[in-house]
Amino acid sequence: MRNNESRQGVAIIEFAIMMVLILIPIMAGTWDISRFIDIRQVLTRAAREGVVTASRGDDPTSRITEYVESAGLHSEDLTVTVDYGPEQPGLGQEVKVSLAYGFSSYTIFPWEDFMPGGVTTAAYAKME
């Protein structure tokens, strides 16, 4: 009788250890994905702000950087590209803002081990 109880106790402990080993990576991945979505949303809003600023004739880089920093992100991970399209009389100035952001410093899971190029996200906005 005692042998069966000890086996059952070992099985419970093994189950608990395996659940921890499975659940922690799942929870870390869920956290990273939700943070990725949040950063992507911030970048989309920043790109839109940049397009509006650029369409007024101002340099959008400082406005985009302010917006990203106010959201709690590091601006040194941010790359801003502004493309001005050809001027067409009566149609206004075409402006395209592209943002790339290095996401690797915000992850719990060591994604760099699996993706040597790092993890980045990007946003794009265009005003015509």
19-49 pLDDT, tens digit per residue, is: 888 888 888 888 888 888 888 898 888 888 8
pTM higher than 0.85 for the full model? no
- 1, 101, 89: which is closest to 43 by C-alpha? 101
pLDDT score recorded for residue 4: 63
Strands (E), the chain: 78-84, 95-102, 120-127
Domain ranges, ordered by start, for the chain: 2-127
Sign for the CA dihedral angle at 118, 77, 32, 14 comes to positive
Question: Cα angle vertex 121, ends 54, 74, to 5°?
Answer: 75
78 closest CA partner among 101, 58, 97, 52: 101
Three-state secondary-structure class, residue 46: helix
Query: Which tokens hold the place of 77?
Result: 């991970």
H-assigned helices in 56-97? 61-70
